[in-house]
Structure 1
Amino acid sequence: MGGVPTKRRRAAVPWMLLGLWIVVLAIAGPFAGKLSDVQHDRAVDYLPASADSTQVAKIQDELPGGESTELVLVYHRDGGLTAADRTTAAAQVARVDRTFDLTAVPKGVPSRDGATLMYPVASTAPGHDEKARDAFVNDVRDIAHDTGGLSVDTGGAGALATDASEVYGSLDGPLLYTTVAVVAILLILIYRSPFLWLVPLVVAGVADFLSMGVAYGLHQAFGTTVSGQSSGVMTILVFGAGTDYALLLVSRYREELRRTERPYDAMRAALRGCGPAVLASSGTVAVGLFCLLAADLNSSRGMGPLGAVGVLCALVAMLTLLPAVLVLLGRRVFWPLVPAYGSTPKARRSLFAAMGSSAGRRPMTVLASGALLLGALALGVFSLPGSLKQEDTFTDKPDSVVAMQILAAAYPERGTQPISVITPTGRAGETLATARDVPGVAAAERVRSGHGWTEISVTASAPPQSTSETTTIETLRDRLDGKGSYVGGQSAQQLDLKDTNSRDRKVVVPIVLAAVLLILVVLLRSLVAPLILLGAVVAVWGASLGIAGLVFGPLFGFHGTDPGLGLLTFVFLVALGVDYGIFLMHRMREESLAGSEPGAAALTALRTTGGVIASAGLVLAATFSVLTNMPLVSLVEMGFVIAVGVLLDTFLVRTYLVTSASMALGRTVWWPGPLSRKPQPRPPAEEPERTLAPTP
């Protein structure tokens, strides 16, 4: 009699979970829709928290009118400007001056060859309001337009920021749609079912919606930076990691349905079997991403919590909502390949069993060959181009980049964008004199004052982001050091980004390695196995950057690499790579605990998890490869390196190197845990003493 209430309770659990998710989404819905409102892509949102350039940007917000929006109108005609061209340019600039509240009347600066004329334009009217800034830039562009063969391009920091903002604003839709389409195609190919693929995809979409609400809550509660880059990566992680967890769970659930009659009981067994590995792997990824909070770069610090939120929301959805939906749909969701109770799957030659056998025959040879290959690929790092300049940040050339390139060619002897110096008003005269005395400074003048600060605009005699201009900025900072002054501006920001990324690598990388190693030691009860996994993923990271060095310049035509590429790809590849290692090692440990010898345990683990890991790796690599279609070089570079790294990790490291290392080391792979010790042979059972029956 007690069985009927138990059955009813079991039947009610999936419905209760489904109802709970409806309530959660109803609460998160209003907040998810507000995430785009708090997304900002201003320079200060990406700059180092403690750098001079960040302080300049913050103080500029406090000055009268707020932050200055600086533009350069570039008039150019091949073969030389005519008198009519100069008249047209003067008329357009005069109209700009009449229409907007500018900080000064624009003055034209002709180039030596007479083919180019530039007018610096600045206004504090937009302040730090991004929408007002974009409207100002676009209105200026409407006034200053091409006329009769005379080209007019709008450059400068404000124009670059507007073009970047438009690019980031256009990412959300295409990024989401492309990611969904890629994941859908792969799931259809993997499951070979007209219905099953839709379930994890919808659940991933629900997780993405929840992550947006949680991310908005984090911003409101802790001021977490939300940028176009971080929100885009969060979406990628939700669909990539979430689909990986779904693949592992569905695969185990399919196995259990053949052994268990009721779907509810089969799902419970599946969760018991793969749940610990999924929890450990997602926890490792989240902890690795949270380590980015130790970075000084605002964009990296903001990406850490948002990425972790995406992974954790995917985890919760895949371990609660996905099981509930699958149980409610029953076995028919697998149609036409329905796993019948008591059936046995068709015996097929396993590709991964064959690969494992080949690694097992000569494990040391395979291990040495793989390590040599990864090392050779890593040498390509020396071919990576230098730091990415502002004009090279877009895959296509917007108006602002065209203007900067024309300026660089027409004015090689002078700077075309100002260096901003913020100084206490009481020291303004002294600071102005010091700036004018610095070698490489062509001009310096006061711009505005307020709230105890004065801004001085410095023009270098060298082109932007050149070695000479960098020397000028560093000399300015040295001479103003200790006097309460800050040196900022676009070129100074790029310099600070480069220096801070170098500092962050030295701080964050050891923290990530230590945190991940600790988690692996606790999970695997071993020290050797975690070191193998960590060494493997670090080697994959190096090889991936090496491949990037071989293709970024010759194939993609990139002229530089984003300063944060090394750190971000390291964190993602270590966290995600160890993720797959946990799946493999966890199953290997299960087999070892069941009594299998180390070699047999490694082969069984590879045979049973190899297909799932390969499918998960393909999905994750495909989701990150979506970034390679985005219009920003930094996103393309990051997506390429992570996608290549995931593929290397899936098909080379997990399949061959970790398996061959485990077989070569034998029980030592579990040292110093109990599995590293050979079990003692059991003593033979004593036979009962025989007594002879008395003879009659």
Structure 2
Amino acid sequence: MSDRSVRKSHVPPLWLRIVVPSVLILVWLALGGLGGPTFGKLSGVSSNDQAAFLPASAESTEVQAWQKRFTASNAIPAIVVVTADSAIPKQELGTTYQQLAEKLATVNGVQAPDKGQQTSVAGPIPSKDGLAVQYIVPIADSNEVKTVVADLRSVVDDNLPSGTKAWVTGPAGLTADLVNAFGGIDGILLLVAVAAVFVILLLVYRALLLPFLVLFTSIFALCAAILFVYLFALWGWIKLSGQSQGILSILVIGAATDYSLLLVARYREALEHEESRWVAVVQAWRAALEPIVASGATVILALLCLLFSDLNSNKSLGPIAAIGIVFALLSALTLLPALIAVFGRAAFWPFRPKVGAEERRLSHAGAVAVAGLEGISGLWRRVGSLIARRPRVTWLVAFGLLVLCVLGLPQLKANGVQQTDVVLSQSDARDGQSVLAKHFDAGSGSPVVIVADQAKAADVLAKTKATDGIAAATYYAGNVRPGAPGAAGAPQPVVVDGRVLIQATLSAEPDSSSAEQVVKTLRSTLPSVDDSALVGGVTAIALDTNETAQSDLAKIIPIVLAVILVILMLLLRSIVAPLLLIGSVVLSYAAALGVSALVFDHVFRFPGADAAVPLFGFVFLVALGVDYNIFLMTRVREESLRIGTRPGILRGLGMTGSVITSAGVVLAATFAALAVIPILFLVQIAFIVAFGVLLDTVVVRSLLVPALSYDIGRTIWWPSRLWRDRLPSEAAETAS
């Protein structure tokens, strides 16, 4: 009999078989019981305010700090725009339209008027064409924007003058629509992801019970991760956003399922050699421990590299996602072994693995022409035979296909998009912005904010007014707004520590590229009259966010690659193989971005991409792509130690082919579920990662890496002992 023959090993004592699984299951039930209820609480500690994620060194962040010194209010403006088919009579502005302003001011959450003011609502402000009016409504609590905007829309609908239409837009309206779009993260996203995984597991295992055990493992991992993320966000240790929350759920479900698939595959193998399910679990756990831990550590460290980001949204995602991977790893190595040990072969019903099944397959297969493919059948035997016959042709064709995909990369427009393009579903605020731009200066309600020296303020104001793209500019004079009822004469500026604020209205929409160009122009020209002048506001925040995200990409990519390379060298005890793997996943990443660029431009017709999309895509694809190569190459190394490198490559591919392909399909399906949330960033990440994972699983891991490794031979293990010490089979191969 070979070392893979049927054997009876020492079975752990009864008390150990009862106590260990029971304790592990109870611990995870407790974590699930505590973490499950926190799902609905995450929105209470989550923020989607773009400004909150900028670094302190950003110019727009400095301007925000100055604004807080000029006013204690953290109000965010909503703009109500009302249009009519014919010119609005002037006499109605002081009656019907003024009454609407009074109604808006009574909405709970609207900022209370300062002493001496009747209302904090500015308006009705008529348009030059006489066909529209606007109201500027300051919302006091930025955490309640969604609720207040919904109430404003209800008040507008109930009190709208006859023959008119109205929209609630501006920064508050756009934020409210963004929060509404994220509303499905707690429910529909998780439901779609779990349903997709369940269907795939049913097809993979052809068993009724095992898919539930794997899903329980994933869901309890997510519950535990959510609990810790919620507490850390509550304590102010991390900043949670809607996009981080969605990615966390998908990442945990996908990673925990992938690790579970690997463990279950080794468990099934062990059950074909062992009578005892308990012994089989221990053997499977030992065999899967190294690749699962190495894979998890790779992803965790790659995610933590985001801590080097200057953009706080990226920086916060690192530890949030890393927490998720930690619990995915722990659940796959503790909860799942306990569950499959309890259920044993019954978990695979109706196709239970039988002792001696592999030996019978070997005896029925007979002799094979290619060493390493003994007992391998079906697709992976054909792939292995192809690689053995034509290794160089195989990897060159795979390489050429990836290079062809990379050609689309220059078309990727990842320099940010307008805020009105972020939400893909129907948006009242987006429609309102278009109406506002038609009748008013498009930047109304979202001014460029300039902090200037009081002594040079007049020159700064004049320079600002003379800048192309600026419709109007005035000093900040408290809550007095030019154009509002009761505002007369030139306002007197508020002065704080020798500084004044200047508010400049943009001609273009504040989230457009034209508006960003105006900010760039102001930042380059104002220092000529005041070298201490600072330019901020909504447009500047978007500009600084995009520029910071682009600089993060150039800084973090080399760090992530260096970290993963070190892990692979330690794991494989080699230099050549890790370099090969790193090169393959980078090429796969570039190919995925290239195809995504073509799809985004010519299929979905997206206006562009968030500047953070390439970075997030890189971290997920490279870290997760290396995962599958780790699963493959650790098994290849194990088999190479036993039967030689080239046979070991074929056998490693044959033994892991089904499980890694299944894992790739599961991960692609879970990330694809992100597309149910109508946010441009999440839809783009969903496509990039889902397509990239499938590309990596089907082309890179199945063809490119094994064929190139087979072509190189033992040299892939240089300079380890596996490279130096030849097995008899390899010596005979060299001699022949």
1:141 is aligned to: 153
Residues 436, 442 of structure 2: 8 Å contact kept: no
Q: Does 1:106 align with 2:123?
A: yes
In the alignment, residue 672 of structure 1 is paired with which amino acid?
Answer: P
1:648 is aligned to: 695
1:314 is aligned to: 328
1:559 is aligned to: 607
Q: Does 1:604 align with 2:604?
A: no
> Aligned pair in 2 of structure 1 residues 654, 106: CA closer, same or farther (>3 Å)?
same
CA deviations over 1:453-500 (Å, ceiling 9, x no partner): 754321123443445432321232235558555422222122112111
Q: 1:30, CA displacement in angstroms?
A: 7.2
Q: 1:621, CA displacement in angstroms?
A: 0.1
Paired residue for 1:374, among 402, 412, 419?
402
Deviates more, 1:649-658 or 1:296-305: 296-305
1:672 is aligned to: 719
Aligned partner of residue 526 in structure 1, secondary structure:
coil
Q: Does 1:117 align with 2:122?
A: no
Paired residue for 2:643, among 595, 600, 603?
595
Q: Does 1:176 align with 2:224?
A: no
Q: 1:643, CA displacement in angstroms?
A: 0.2
In the alignment, residue 405 of structure 2 is paired with which amino acid?
Answer: L
CA deviations over 1:7-35 (Å, ceiling 9, x no partner): 43243221222233344446656766643
Residues 101, 135 of structure 2: 8 Å contact kept: no
CA deviations over 1:275-313 (Å, ceiling 9, x no partner): 100000011011111101111111111111111111110
Paired residue for 2:302, among 288, 309, 312?
288
> Aligned pair in 2 of structure 1 residues 148, 352: CA closer, same or farther (>3 Å)?
farther
1:500 is aligned to: 548
Distance (whole Å) between structure 2 residues aligned to residue 4 and residue 507 of structure 1: 52
CA deviations over 1:349-401 (Å, ceiling 9, x no partner): 32122112213322222222222211111121233346311111111231100
Distance (whole Å) between structure 1 residues aligned to residue 214 and residue 495 of structure 2: 56
Counting only pairs closer than 5 Å after superposition, residues 454-473 of structure 1 correspond to structure 2 as 455-473=501-519
Residues 14, 325 of structure 1: 8 Å contact kept: yes
Paired residue for 2:386, among 347, 358, 381?
358
Q: Does 1:207 align with 2:221?
A: yes
The CA RMSD over aligned residues, in Å, is: 2.9
Paired residue for 1:571, among 611, 619, 623?
619
Deviates more, 1:305-314 or 1:139-148: 139-148
Aligned partner of residue 449 in structure 2, secondary structure:
strand
Distance (whole Å) between structure 2 residues aligned to residue 331 and residue 427 of structure 1: 82
Q: Does 1:53 align with 2:60?
A: yes
Q: 1:107, CA displacement in angstroms?
A: 4.9
Residues 122, 137 of structure 2: 8 Å contact kept: no
Aligned partner of residue 560 in structure 1, secondary structure:
coil
Aligned partner of residue 203 in structure 2, secondary structure:
helix
Residues 256, 332 of structure 2: 8 Å contact kept: yes
Q: 1:656, CA displacement in angstroms?
A: 0.5
Q: Does 1:42 align with 2:49?
A: yes
Paired residue for 2:521, among 466, 470, 475?
475
CA deviations over 1:236-286 (Å, ceiling 9, x no partner): 011101000111101110111121121111111001111100000011011
In the alignment, residue 678 of structure 2 is paired with which amino acid?
Answer: P
Aligned partner of residue 152 in structure 1, secondary structure:
strand
1:76 is aligned to: 83
Q: Does 1:620 align with 2:620?
A: no
Aligned partner of residue 210 in structure 2, secondary structure:
coil
> Aligned pair in 2 of structure 1 residues 195, 478: CA closer, same or farther (>3 Å)?
same
Q: Does 1:8 align with 2:28?
A: no
> Aligned pair in 2 of structure 1 residues 269, 86: CA closer, same or farther (>3 Å)?
farther
Deviates more, 1:9-18 or 1:554-563: 9-18
2:24 is aligned to: 17
Q: 1:58, CA displacement in angstroms?
A: 4.8
1:340 is aligned to: 354
In the alignment, residue 660 of structure 2 is paired with which amino acid?
Answer: I
Q: 1:630, CA displacement in angstroms?
A: 1.3
Distance (whole Å) between structure 2 residues aligned to residue 57 and residue 575 of structure 1: 36
Distance (whole Å) between structure 1 residues aligned to residue 545 and residue 443 of structure 2: 23
Q: 1:553, CA displacement in angstroms?
A: 2.8
In the alignment, residue 121 of structure 1 is paired with which amino acid?
Answer: I
1:527 is aligned to: 575
Q: Does 1:387 align with 2:421?
A: no
Distance (whole Å) between structure 1 residues aligned to residue 435 and residue 513 of structure 2: 19
Counting only pairs closer than 5 Å after superposition, residues 385-464 of structure 1 correspond to structure 2 as 385=413, 387-410=416-439, 417-422=446-451, 432=461, 435-445=464-474, 446-448=476-478, 455-464=501-510
Aligned partner of residue 457 in structure 1, secondary structure:
strand
1:582 is aligned to: 630
1:326 is aligned to: 340
CA deviations over 1:32-73 (Å, ceiling 9, x no partner): 664332111122234344322233445545654422321222
Distance (whole Å) between structure 1 residues aligned to residue 181 and residue 63 of structure 2: 25
2:365 is aligned to: none
Distance (whole Å) between structure 2 residues aligned to residue 619 and residue 467 of structure 1: 39
Segments of structure 1 that go 5 or more residues without pairing to the other structure are 685-696
Residues 407, 416 of structure 1: 8 Å contact kept: no
In the alignment, residue 119 of structure 1 is paired with which amino acid?
Answer: Q
Paired residue for 2:170, among 156, 163, 186?
156
1:245 is aligned to: 259
> Aligned pair in 2 of structure 1 residues 269, 413: CA closer, same or farther (>3 Å)?
closer
Distance (whole Å) between structure 1 residues aligned to residue 388 and residue 515 of structure 2: 58
Give the TM-score normalised by the residue count of structure 1. 0.90
1:517 is aligned to: 565
Residues 585, 696 of structure 2: 8 Å contact kept: yes
In the alignment, residue 332 of structure 2 is paired with which amino acid?
Answer: M
Distance (whole Å) between structure 1 residues aligned to residue 705 and residue 351 of structure 2: 32
Q: 1:77, CA displacement in angstroms?
A: 4.6
Distance (whole Å) between structure 2 residues aligned to residue 31 and residue 384 of structure 1: 38
In the alignment, residue 675 of structure 1 is paired with which amino acid?
Answer: L
1:694 is aligned to: none
Distance (whole Å) between structure 2 residues aligned to residue 317 and residue 5 of structure 1: 22
> Aligned pair in 2 of structure 1 residues 413, 403: CA closer, same or farther (>3 Å)?
closer
Q: 1:106, CA displacement in angstroms?
A: 2.1
2:6 is aligned to: none
Residues 71, 155 of structure 1: 8 Å contact kept: yes
In the alignment, residue 589 of structure 1 is paired with which amino acid?
Answer: R
Distance (whole Å) between structure 2 residues aligned to residue 480 and residue 98 of structure 1: 41
Residues 263, 288 of structure 2: 8 Å contact kept: yes
Distance (whole Å) between structure 2 residues aligned to residue 175 and residue 30 of structure 1: 17
Residues 77, 445 of structure 2: 8 Å contact kept: no
Give the TM-score normalised by the residue count of structure 2. 0.85
> Aligned pair in 2 of structure 1 residues 91, 672: CA closer, same or farther (>3 Å)?
same
Query: Identity of paired residues, percent?
Result: 36
In the alignment, residue 219 of structure 1 is paired with which amino acid?
Answer: A
Residues 350, 607 of structure 1: 8 Å contact kept: no
In the alignment, residue 101 of structure 2 is paired with which amino acid?
Answer: V
CA deviations over 1:503-537 (Å, ceiling 9, x no partner): 10111111101111111111111111111111111
Distance (whole Å) between structure 1 residues aligned to residue 673 and residue 69 of structure 2: 40
In the alignment, residue 711 of structure 2 is paired with which amino acid?
Answer: A
CA deviations over 1:417-461 (Å, ceiling 9, x no partner): 311234577876675455445444332221535975754321123
Report how many aligned residue pairs link the two structures.
674
